[in-house]
Every structure is written in structure tokens, then in C-alpha cells.
Amino acid sequence: MKTRAIAAAVLCVAILAGYRYAQPRIGAWQGGMARIVNDTDSFTDTGGYPVPGSYSVDIDLADLGGNTGKVLYDDGSYVIDVGWVDNTGSAMTGGYRIGLRSHGTYSPDGADLVSGSRHRTMGAHAFSSDMTASMTAAYNGQNYESPVFAIGGLNEKDGDEFAFYVFPAGAYEAGGVSLQETGTVTLTVTGLYRNVWRKKETADAAERPGEGRTANAPVPENGGAADAGQGPDVPPSAGIGSL
């Protein structure tokens, strides 16, 4: 009996230890990236930095749904692909639009996400998502600046979404593009940002490796394009929203 009691006690201790070990991992799996970001007592976002370079994807305007899943950015760890492309049917409401979906990684130790948005903690329970990316559209020999359509929070388990109007309002007004295009437009995005969340004790002790990567690096100037009144001309009845 005594041997059985000892064995039962050891088993209970092992189960409890296993539960305490697994609990944060289960929580991170269930809650996704947002759970880590919202835990401001344990994690910090001060290690993020701009991602240099420009990244392009070809969009078939004759088959909008067929563009879903096309890859804009892939560094082997983090991916940005096409979430959707639509056409509002009116230049007044924006015409062609595109949503880009960012996929990052997360674990009990932190999270990483390359996106067109920089997500920042502003206080214990306040957060900010700022567009850092800008986009241009090359079509029929013309280059257009694409206005920002919307910025999304961390609404997906592994990332976020950010969106643009493919063409500025002036392109429709000047007759350069119509609402019945059938060609291929090349979209090029610059100003991506790598969001990094780490446990506070780990972030305080670690020194950032890598050339050209600086903790607390400022957002590029084109990040301001998401503010009202800045950037390319937004369609008259449209504006910058959230996803």
C-alpha cells in the first residue's frame, strides 16, 4: 500500500509539472499572436525594425479571385500573400482593391511578424497599428501610387491584414483605367516592418544581431501615408478604414 501511495504521489506531481509546463504553450496555441501581444506585463515590442527592399506581385484583373494566395514576400520564415482582390464597381468607392495577408510565427517565448503595419503598445491596455508600407501599381506603361484602403489589427492567429486601393481616384478620372480592365497589373510594396515581441527579461538581456537592424528603429517616412490627408488621392466616397 505504501509503495502504491508513493507511486500515486509521484504521478500527481508529474502531471502537475506537465500541466504547468504545457499551460502557456496551450494558451499561445489557442489565443495566437494576439494573446502574446496583449500580455504587456510579460512581453515587449521594442525590438522591431524596418525591412529594406521592394517586393512585387502580378495581379490578373480579368480573374480577381484567382489572385488569392499569390506571394508578395517570403523570406523563408515569414510570408505576405494576397488575401483578396475585389472591385467595388464604382470609382467613387475605390474600384479595384487588394488585401494583403501577413503570416508570422508565435510561441510561448514571443512572436514575429513581417507586415505593412507596425503594431505598438502605447500603454498597459492601449495599442496602435500604423501603416508603414506604400504601394505602386504599374499598368499599361503607367505607374500609379496606390492609396491606403485599410489597416488591420492582429485579428488572425498568425498575423494581420493591410489593404490598398489598386489605383488612385485620378487614374479613373483621367481615363487611364476603367472598371472593366482585363490586363495584368504589377504591384510593388516597400516599407515593410518586422514586428518583434519578446519576453521582457529576454529582450533586456539580448543584443540584436545582424547588420542594419536596429532596435527601436524609426518608422520610415512613408508610414505617414496612412494618415488622413496624406498619400495618393483617395476615392471621394472612400477613406482609410480598419479590417
Compute CA distances 127 → 70, 121, 182, 199, whole Å.
30, 5, 40, 18
pLDDT range class, residue 52, cuts 50, 70, 90: very high
**Residue 18 and residue 16: Cα distance in Å, rounded?**
5
Shortest CA distance to 200 belongs to which of 50, 49, 39, 48?
A: 39
Higher pLDDT: 223 or 30? It is 30
Q: What is the pLDDT of residues 85-95, one digit of tens each?
A: 999 999 999 99
Cell of 84: 483578396
129 has a pLDDT exceeding 70: yes
Place of cell 514586428: 195
Q: What is the mean pLDDT of the chain?
A: 81
Give backbone dihedrals phi and psi of 8, rounded to 5 degrees, phi first: -65, -40
Shortest CA distance to 153 belongs to which of 165, 162, 166?
A: 162
**Residue 219 and residue 217: Cα distance in Å, rounded?**
7
Structure confidence at residue 8 (pLDDT) = 46
pLDDT range class, residue 15, cuts 50, 70, 90: very low
Q: What is the pLDDT of residues 231-240, one digit of tens each?
A: 567 776 565 6
Cell of 131: 501603416
Higher pLDDT: 58 or 44? It is 58
CB 163 within 8 A of CB 243: yes
